[in-house]
Amino acid sequence: MSLFLDNAATSFPKPESVYRAMDAAMREVGVAPGRGGYRQSLAAARIVYEARSALARFFGVRDSSRLIFTHSATESINIALNGLLKPGDHVVSTSVEHNALLRPLHLMRTRGVQVTFVQADHFGVVSEREMAKAIRPGTRLVAMAHCSNVTGVVQPIAETARLAREAGALFLVDAAQSAGFLPVDVGAIGIDLLAAPGHKGLFGPPGTGILTVAEGLRLEPLLVGGTGGNASSPEQPEEMPERLESGTINTPAIAGLKAGLEFIETTGLETIRKKEKALVDQLLVGLRAMPGIQVFGPPHGERGAAVSFNAAGHDPAALGYLLDTGYDIAVRSGLHCAPDVHRTIGSYPAGTVRVSPGYFNAEGEIEFFLKALREILAGKR
């Protein structure tokens, strides 16, 4: 039996109810939502509406029309940055961002947007003080990840939201690693733009994501086209969510995402977090007890469910290969699409081995992984 420890990329497996919901939506509904007035299309529209409402509630978004469906956190970030930024705008971000934010910011730079990257410390932690120094009057946007996909570091987003607000800047959070793991309340924290994948902690299928857009904030759409409403006008509608949601929505995928969220709500976010935290703690204790292992991230404090390490004298890619071929264990090695994190924590260019357990992993599986690693390091494989 293969052991999947790459949940930071995409959670696997999904709850049974997700598979069932997708199958049912595909067979029984399976049409474009809201495009036709007939019952089947209305049923599809109801699934999308209920999913939107449930996600809005979950993330503390008062008006569910301010939550749009996308294909990924990456797409959400692109819609936000392209829709908001103009040449001359100033953005503050950090030295520990995923390419999903880093590359769109880089592109924005080539279009005349100024970006200040705040340096995190060597654990990958961003300090509120450094953020405060970089944010200036007139800063248009502060954009950062809530939780790192490499180190698991949880960044101070509530404090940064306050700094942004005081400076009159908007605040974008990449919640790719925290959505479905940590509570994220957009309204209470003061997040103007929240980008989250549906396919990681929310247990939806690949190809799902969301973006929340604060009330009163008008974004230029990245994509224009059919929305199911205002068909006679050549202009993209002003109303949300249609303004930012062109093209036929993937109803079966949204049905799966809705079932994923229902699973979280019936299980309890706290229960999920406790279980994943216990697995992460078990990993940390086991890894730290092995000679020659360097575990990245801070020694104490809150962590997400991604643990990165390196073993002296071993290439991370070779370790990943041996775990896969020798033990059928799926971990990820390399840069994890976040080269600047490695430049910050000192693991560039080889990267790290990343182990990311999920809710469906068991203690015995972490033990199996640790035993496999010990054997590899002892040269038994």
Ligand X SMILES: Cc1ncc(COP(=O)(O)O)c(C=O)c1O
Site size toward ligand X, by CB under 6 A:
13
Stretch that binds ligand X, among 70-78, 123-131, 257-265, 325-333 (CB under 6 A): 70-78
Closest distance to ligand X from the beta carbon of 46 (Å): 25
Among residues 180, 197, 297, 358, the one that binds ligand X under rule CB under 6 A: 197
> Distances from the Cα of 316 to the Cαs of 40, 100, 162, 309, in angstroms?
51, 23, 39, 9
Contact assessment for residue 58 and residue 183, using Cβ atoms and an 8 Å cutoff: no
Angular region, 199: left φ>0, alpha ψ -120 to 50, beta rest: alpha
By rule CB under 6 A, what string of x and - marks binding of each residue 159-188 to ligand X? ---------------x-xx-----------
| Binding residue for ligand X, selected from 14, 66, 98, 243, defined by CB under 6 A | 98
Site for ligand X contains 66 (CB under 6 A):
no
Q: Is 72 in the site for ligand X (CB under 6 A)?
A: yes
User: How far from 291 is each of 120, 209, 251, 288, 311, CA to CA, in Å?
Assistant: 27, 40, 50, 8, 8
Residue range at the interface with ligand X (CB under 6 A); choices 14-22, 66-74, 343-351, 362-370: 66-74
- Quick check: bond before 241 cis, omega within 30? yes
In the complex, the smallest distance separating the C-beta of residue 199 from ligand X, rounded to whole angstroms, is: 6
User: Whose CA is closest to 257, among 208, 218, 309?
Assistant: 208
Contact pattern from residue 138 through residue 157 relative to ligand X, giving x for each residue in contact according to CB under 6 A and a dash for the rest: -------x---x--------
Shortest distance, position 146 Cβ to ligand X, whole Å: 8
> At its nearest, how many Å lie between ligand X and the CB of residue 166?
26
Q: Which residues 236-275 are close enough to bind ligand X by CB under 6 A? A: none
Q: Which of 15-23, 71-79, 80-88, 359-367 is the region at the interface with ligand X (rule: CB under 6 A)?
A: 71-79
Three-state SS at 39: helix
Least Cβ distance, residue 42 to ligand X (angstroms) = 29
Q: Whole-angstrom Cα distance, residue 225 to residue 7?
A: 34
Q: At its nearest, how many Å lie between ligand X and the CB of residue 196?
A: 8
SS3 assignment, position 192: coil
- By beta-carbon proximity to ligand X, the closer residue of 207 and 286 is 207
Can you tell me the distance from the alpha carbon of 83 to that of 104, in angstroms, rounded to the nearest whole number? Answer: 12
Residue of 73, 169, 191, 249 interacting with ligand X (CB under 6 A): 73
Q: Closest Cα to residue 275, out of 183, 181, 197, 199?
A: 181
- Closer to ligand X by Cβ: residue 99 or 119: 99
Question: 267: how many CB neighbours lie within 10 A of its CB?
Answer: 14
In angstroms, what is the minimal distance from the CB of 205 to ligand X? 11
How far is residue 300's CA from residue 139's CA, in Å, rounded to a whole number?
A: 33
- Chosen residue from 91, 100, 157, 191 binding ligand X by CB under 6 A: 100
Q: Nearest-CA neighbor of 254 among 46, 11, 35, 36?
A: 46
CA distance 317 to 75: 28
Question: CB of 100: closest distance to ligand X in angstroms?
Answer: 3
> Which residues make up the interface to ligand X (CB under 6 A)?
9, 72-74, 98, 100, 145, 149, 174, 176-177, 197, 209
